[in-house]
Amino acid sequence: LSDVSYREETLTAVLSISPQWLNPGDSVNLSCKVKVSSAGWRFFWYKMFPYRAGSPSLLDMSYSVELLSENGTEESYNMSPAGSADTGGYVCRAGRGDPVYYTDYSLTLYVYLSELQASVSLKINLSRTQQFLWKTLSLSCELKGNTTGWRLMRNTETGVESGCPSYQGSITGTTCTRRSIYTGDSGVYWCESGSGEYSNAVNITVHAGDVILESPVHPVSEGESVTLRCLYKHQGTNPNNKADFYKDRVLISSETTGEMTIPEVSKSDEGFYKCTSDQGESRESWVTVRSEKTFKIILNVVSTGMCPLVYLLSPLILL
């Protein structure tokens, strides 16, 4: 290939991240590739933060980027162990030659945290991630400390946008209320500060069907009791509550009460769950289980004062 055609085919780098949902102590691997393999490429990694004039930025000026590897690396970049400070958006690009020719930035991918945090947490008014069509959904950023510039954000298949648009949402104090939600309101929601801090994230699914699954919104600890419920849009029209529950698409329980309880969850109970009944089938929801060892480490860090908490509650500004 000529140099010109080579450049035409490799204008954009392709980023992948594993895992995208972070548990305490996880290692996160970022991988970057170009469309046409060739020797000599170095890969550069960037974390995103809200746009700042004078800082390197994405083409649409929506976010600025901070370079993580000055000299470039091979095709992967590892964060081990990764923590709450590593949550947020990432892009990569490749470069080679002298002077260096760079590809365009990759599409943005995110590292999300399910755990509630001491400084800021996203909570929803209904204790489930699956929601019925046309209902009202309220999301609250519960914050402690300096909350200047915080906003609610949402990531969907079409990109990142405000999680509380003026045409559909209203803001009261720290709460955004979305009215008459529809399937297009599905997505990953989080709170984001002007300095690039992130809250935990919640993956919300709006289901057009008549059955949804109620499952824990936030991670549960080993040994806890967890109850899953099959909820029906038209509960009053059918007194039959019989439901089948599936884990990773394998039937695990049939219940006449419409709910299933795991008395003491373990790490092996982590996975995708759904329920079915004569009224329909729910979507799948992921249940995260924290290992007992990890949870003890977190408690020990807090109790020894290594991670001081700030208890002053301040108002939230959603942009």
Q: Which residues of 10-42 are buried (b: 16+ CB within 10 A; e: fewer)?
A: beebebebeeebbbbebebebbbbbeeeeeebb
Provide the pairing of β-strand 28-33 with 76-79: antiparallel
Torsion (CA) 255, 183, 151, 109 in degrees, nearest 10: 90
- Comparing 221 with 293, the larger pLDDT belongs to 221
CA 77, 155, 164, 23 dihedral sign is negative
Q: What is the pLDDT of residue 73?
A: 79
For 3-112, which CATH superfamily applies?
A: Immunoglobulins (2.60.40.10)
The pTM for the full model equals 0.81
Bridge partners, residue 272, by sequence = 286
- pLDDT tens-place string over residues 12-58: 899 999 999 988 788 999 999 987 766 788 899 999 988 888 777 78
**Residue 190 · residue 141 · CB < 8 Å:** no
**Residue 271 · residue 249 · CB < 8 Å:** no
Q: What is the pLDDT of residue 315?
A: 35
Fold observed for domain 120-290:
Immunoglobulin-like (2.60.40)
Same fold for the domain at 3-112 and the one at 120-290?
A: yes
Give mean pLDDT, residues 281-302: 68
pLDDT above 90 (res 310): no
Domain ranges (residues) in the chain: 3-112, 120-290
- pLDDT tens-place string over residues 178-207: 888 999 999 999 998 877 889 999 999 999
Interior CA angle at 278 toward 276 and 284, to 5°? Answer: 15
